[in-house]
Every structure is written in structure tokens, then in C-alpha cells.
Amino acid sequence: MANRGFVSRGRIAGLTLALILLAPRLSFAHPLGNFSISHYTGIRVEQDAVELRYFVDMAEIPTFQEIQETGIVPEAEHPGLTGYLARKAETLREGLVLEVNTSQLRFQSESREVIFSPGAGGLPTMKLGIVYRARLDGAASTGLSHLRYRDANFPDRAGWKEIVAVEGPGISFVSSSVPERDRSTQLTDYPTDLLNSPPQTLEAVVTFTREGSAPVVAMIGPPGSPSPESFSPLPSEAKEPASGTERAVRPREVEARVQTDAKPVRLQTNQQATPRNAFTELMTTKELGVGIVLFALAAAAGLGAFHALEPGHGKTVVAAYLVGSRGTAWHALLLGLIVTASHTAGVYLLGAVTLYASRYVVPERLYPWLGVISGLTVAGLGFYLFLRRYASKNHPHAHAHPHEHGHGHHQHGFVGHSHGPEGAHASDHHRHGKPGDAVSLAQLFALGVTGGIIPCPAALVVLLSAVALRRIGFGLLLILAFSVGLAAVLIAIGLLMIYARRFMSRFQGEGLLISHWLPLTSSAVITVLGVAIAVQALVSAGILQIRL
């Protein structure tokens, strides 16, 4: 009978077990390998400016090197970062070339941000985001203009290299060598599959036109900005048709004025985990060694044993039944085994169902129904036993006689044959249930199955985690070990009950207490338990509400 508290404890135990045993490395490393440096540029062409949103995503090793070289502290709000960012923005800018109509534009960084996210083993990775802006003033002609962009930072270094270009208001693209939308959501998501390998774009060429006439050069500076003397473009110079040689010799520089209303940079951490070396992953698992595997199995068994001591799993049912019947050690063993088998099967089954039907059925919803079915079966069995034993109360004879056929026949609907030393005449199926029944196999089976069928959440969590981490075999083995532990405790309890009964009977002989009241009580208890299981399941499903 699981109560809320038990369930969550069980879940936590299961999860912890899963985590310890199955997933020694759940931390996510950088998606593109831990020495990669990924770049993203978002080019936005506007009427009078070009905005470059430049992102750099550094994996663990380059982040480490950066920290070593600059002495920065990998904490987002650290004061030392402001100066670092300003310097870094300048350094990175030097590796970028932006030309419009062969005039090289100068741009300045407007907003900068850096975040540090934990990568493999919690080691820091870093992501820089800088918005640069370049004024176009006259560099773009009224007709077609050509933009060329090149990113020469971190050449030859592995990574995701993406450029996109979008039109601002009043601009329309005639052609573009790069798409409008990026695949990486600005370096937070690195979807990589067979047909979509990481882009390696470091150059962009865009042809665009401006709607309407050439804009007036507007000198809108930031509030409180220095005087306009610092501004020195010469529109006439810029418009000069450049000849071939001049183009090569002297790129025109157009001073750019910086606007401050650029959208701030928003950085996010990555979504994927690193692609690992699949073989060594497996291999290193093997390297866990026999010792660790054995330890894991022992831990699972221990957990199962401990779990059996918790309320639930028909432990009480087992005990009650064995006390009420004339069970033997062998019965106890059998019952324990049946419970284990049904528990294991239950977990496997539920696990399989969960996986294949996870789109349609939420696993949590299955539990209560399993509980209800189990409870009702147990209650039914208990009730049947109770009836039988109550009925036999009316027969003064404690021993069956072969000639009492009448009753015998009625009893066979449900039970099978009885075994065991007490049922020495087992082959004689005319014997009807004695008070203090001999244990029947079918009853045993039914009890065992219903007692164990409810897979406890802890075990299910272990199995599902195993599947998620692709260590199914190991997961199944762990569940088995769990069930063995469970069985061991149940068997022990069963044995305890049996010897307690015998102990009592030795003292008091086959007195009325032992031969009559005990069995009756036990079957009553079983019935009550069954009902309680069913009720609790219904409550947990929210179908019944009980106010206590």
C-alpha cells in the first residue's frame, strides 16, 4: 500500500540509484566538441547603417585558454568583464571586414555581453555577443549596392560558422549568398544531422537596393555626444566611381557615427550535449569493471530488500496468508519467487508500455489502475478464503472424509491441488478446504502475482533511466537484482510467519485459535488489505476523495 510519502521516497531512491549506477557523466559538454569556437553573424542592412550582431561561442578548452590569458573570472556579473568585453570587441572587430560598394566600413561596438555556462564536468564555456554598427552615409548608392563581409577570426578552428543577412526597413535584397534565418538560433541550438552538418560560412555577399531616394546624412548622435567636428565623411568622395586600381590600393574609409538604440544582445546557453565518441563511451562503461557491476547489483538488491520492508508489495498479504494457511517453508519460498517474478515482469511490462505508448498514455495514469486491479483481486481472494473458512466452521469435523463429496465438489471452482506434508493426501481432490487450509498453488500464484504486480516507481525509474542512457541490458539486470532483494525479504517474512505459526501451534496444539480463528482472521485481513489497496489506488487517481 503506497502512500504519497513512500512514493516520493521510492522515486528518489530509484532515481539516485539510477544516477549513481547508470549515469556517471550526465553533465553536458559543448555540442561541437570541446575545443571548438563557433561564430555567428547576423547582418542587418538598413537605410543608413549596417548592423552586425556577432556571436562567438567558445567551448571548454578555448574558454580555459582565454581565462588563462586574460585573467578574467568566469562569472557573468563580474566587474572585470566590462573592460575585458570592450577590449575583446575591438580585437574581434579587427578580424571582420565589411565593405559596401568596395568602401570598407568602420564599425564600432555598441552593446556587448558575455555569459558563462557550465560544460563538461561543470567546466566553463563562454559565449560573447557584440553588436556592431556601421554608418552607410553615401557609401550605398541609389541603385544596386554590393555588400561584402568576411570573418577572419579563429581561422581553421573547428566550429559552427554561420552568417545570415536580413533586410531592414526600406531595403530589399536582390541576391544574397547567405540565408535569412539561422539554424542555430544564434548559437544556442546546434541541430546536426546527416543532411545538416555544421555550416562553415565565413563570407557573405549581398546585393541590395534602397527604396526611395538617397537619405540625407543625418547626424543623430547619442544624447550629450561630443560636437559634430569629430564627424568627417565627405559624401562626394565616397560617391566617386572607383577605378580598378584605386579600389585595390586605397579602401575608402567612411567614419561611422554610433547610434545607441541598438537592440541589446541576448545570449542563451546551449541546448545540446556534445557528440561523444560513441565507442569509448561504451568501452569506458566496461572499464567500470566487474567490481563496480557487482557493487551496482548488490546495491540494487539492497534497495529491493529495503523496499520490501516498506509498506506495500503485499508483504502483509503474504504474511497473513501464510499465517492463515498451513504453509511450509517451500510455500514461503515459492510465494517470494512469484512475487519477484511478477514484480520484475510488471516493471518490464510497464517500462515497455511506457516507452511505446508514451505518446498516448502517461505512465502515471497506469499506476492507479494497476493498483485497483491488484487490490480487487487480493480482496476477492481474501473474501473467498474467508467464506470458505467461515463455512467450514459449521462442520464439526476437522478432518476431511472421502465420503463428504458434496462439499468437496463446490470447492473446486477456484482451487487447484494442495501440496505439502500436511496435505499428505494431496492427490485426493475430494478433500475440501480444511480450516487452516493447506496451501493451494493457485491461491499462492494469485496472491504472489497480485502482490507483486504493482511495479514500484523506484524500479520503474531505474529501468527507464537505463533505457534513456542506452544501457538497457544493465538496467534489466538491475531490476532483476532489485526483485531478488525484494524476494529475499518477503521469503524471510513468510518463513517467519510460518515458524511463528508452528511455534504457536506447538504450544497450543491445534487448538481452536490456531486451527480456526487465525485462518479466519488472516483471510479477513487479506480482504481488508485488498480493499485498502484498491481504495488507495483510486484515491491517488483522484477518483475517490477521502477526508480523514
Partner 1 sequence: MHTLRIARVLIVASISLLALGLGTPWAQAPTPDQTIRLYQRQVLRKPHDAGAYYRLGDAYIQKARESGDVTYFNLAEQALRKALDISPRFSDALRHLAYVLYSRHDFAGAATEARKATELNPADPHAYGILGDAYLEVGKYTEAEATYRRMIDLDSDLYSLSRLSGLKSLRGDPEGAIADLQRAIKAGKTEGRPRESIAWGQWQLGSEYFSLGNLQEAGARYLEALSTYPNYYRALAGLAQVRTAQKRFPEAIELYQRAIAIIPQPDYAAALGDIYARIGRPEEARRQYDLVEYIGYLNSLNKILYNRELGAFYADHDIKLTEALDLARKELEYRRDIYAYDLLAWTLHKNGKSQEAHPAMTEALKLGTKDARLFFHAGMIYRGIGETEKAKEHLRRALATNPSFHIFHAEVAERTLQELEGQLTLREIQEKGRGQ
Q: Under a CB-based contact definition with an 8 Å cutoff, are residues 49 and 136 in contact?
A: yes
| Smaller CB separation from partner 1, 207 or 260 | 207
Q: For partner 1, which is the closer residue by CB, 197 or 243?
A: 197
Of 287, 399, 413, 548, the one binding partner 1 by CB under 8 A: 287
* Grid cell at residue 462: 531505474
Query: Is the torsion defined by CA of 104, 108, 110, 111 positive or negative?
Result: positive
Closest approach, Cβ 198 to partner 1, in A, equals 7
CB 78, min distance to partner 1, A:
21
- Interface residue with partner 1 among 193, 211, 229, 261 (CB under 8 A) is 193
Instruction: Rule CB under 8 A: say whether 191 interacts with partner 1.
Output: no
Under the binding rule (CB under 8 A), the answer on residue 391 touching partner 1 is no
**Binding residue (CB under 8 A) for partner 1 from 10, 124, 129, 198:** 198
Instruction: Let me know: does 266 contact 147? Beta carbons within 8 Å.
Output: no
Task: List Cα–Cα distances, 30 to 27, 35, 114, 146, 503, in angstroms.
Answer: 10, 9, 16, 36, 66
| Eight-state DSSP code of residue 23 | -
Of the candidates 164, 140, 141, 138, which has an alpha carbon nearest to the alpha carbon of residue 151?
164
Nearer to partner 1, 7 or 67 (CB): 67
Shortest distance (Å) from residue 297 CB to partner 1: 22
CB of 107 to partner 1, least distance (A): 24
Binding mask 13-52 for partner 1 (x = CB under 8 A): ------------x-x-x--xxxxx----------------
348 binds partner 1 (CB under 8 A): no
Closer residue to partner 1, CB minimum distance, 36 or 354: 36
Which of 169, 194, 427, 542 contacts partner 1 by CB under 8 A? 194
Segment 59 to 98, residues that bind partner 1, using CB under 8 A: 60-62, 64-65, 68
Alpha helices in 161-288 (DSSP H): 235-239, 244-249, 278-286
Is residue 173 involved in binding partner 1 (CB under 8 A)? no
Distance of closest approach, residue 181 Cβ to partner 1, in angstroms: 18
Q: Kindly report the three-state secondary structure assignment for every residue of 349-378.
A: HHHHHHHHCCCCCCHHHHHHHHHHHHHHHH
Phi/psi-derived region of residue 415, left when phi > 0, alpha when psi is between -120 and 50, beta in every other case: beta
Which one, of 156, 201, 141, 145, lies nearest residue 177 by Cα? Answer: 201
SS3 256: coil
- Contact, 107 vs 86, CB < 8 A? no
Give the residues lining the site for partner 1 (CB under 8 A): 25, 27, 29, 32-36, 60-62, 64-65, 68, 120-121, 123, 144, 146, 154-159, 175, 192-198, 200, 205, 207, 274-281, 283-284, 287
